[in-house]
Amino acid sequence: RTTARTIEHGLRQLRGDLGVILPPNLGGIGLEQALHELLAPLAARGVTTELDVQPLDGAPAELAYRVAREAIRNAELHAGAASIAVSVTRDHTPAGRRARLSITDDGTGFVSAERDEAEHAGRRGLRIVDELVRDQGGELIVRSKVGAGTTVEATFPAG
């Protein structure tokens, strides 16, 4: 029984990790529609949602989707957010085109020790997307304050 529970726990963890890693086929529906579909179930439950997306294609769109999915999932499951805003913008910098993704919620927020505890408990979604963003030459910043919500912001090359 212990072994079966351990295997079941490992499989649940793996499924969750794969959900963070593998995006839908964005080429067919586009980033804005994919993000809308992530927010739609929350809006149907009364969460106020806001979506502002400048188009991204290819790998930058997939990366934006992965980060947004994790942040939205966390706001839904852990923060009890009443509102979630998602924005995707592009900038032209001397270093090239950059994308900026921002997901802000008004949920419970957290302190960094709680994030560390969550990782030790097997919830590694933010760590995974942080690594994905860094692997693409970007940066992920998570700002949170207890009682004041959380903002997850990613910047990365946009091609």
Over range 20-32, report the average pLDDT.
72
If residue 6 lies in a helix (H) or strand (E), which one and from where to where? helix 2-21
Task: State yes or no: pLDDT of 123 exceeds 90.
Answer: no
Confidence band for 111, pLDDT divided at 50, 70 and 90? low
Task: State yes or no: pLDDT of 14 exceeds 80.
Answer: no
Q: Collapse the DSSP code of 124 into the 3-class scheme (helix H, G, I; strand E, B; otherwise coil) and give the result.
A: coil
Over range 82-87, report the average pLDDT.
96
Cβ atoms of residues 87 and 52 within 8 Å: yes
Task: State yes or no: pLDDT of 78 exceeds 60.
Answer: yes
pTM of the model: 0.77
Task: State yes or no: pLDDT of 84 exceeds 90.
Answer: yes
Cβ atoms of residues 58 and 93 within 8 Å: no
Confidence band for 32, pLDDT divided at 50, 70 and 90? very high
Model pLDDT, residue 119: 60
Q: Collapse the DSSP code of 149 into the 3-class scheme (helix H, G, I; strand E, B; otherwise coil) and give the result.
A: strand
**What is the number of other CB atoms lying within 10 angstroms of the CB of residue 86?**
24
Token digits of residue 47: 């969460």
Q: Across all residues in the chain, what is the average pLDDT?
A: 84
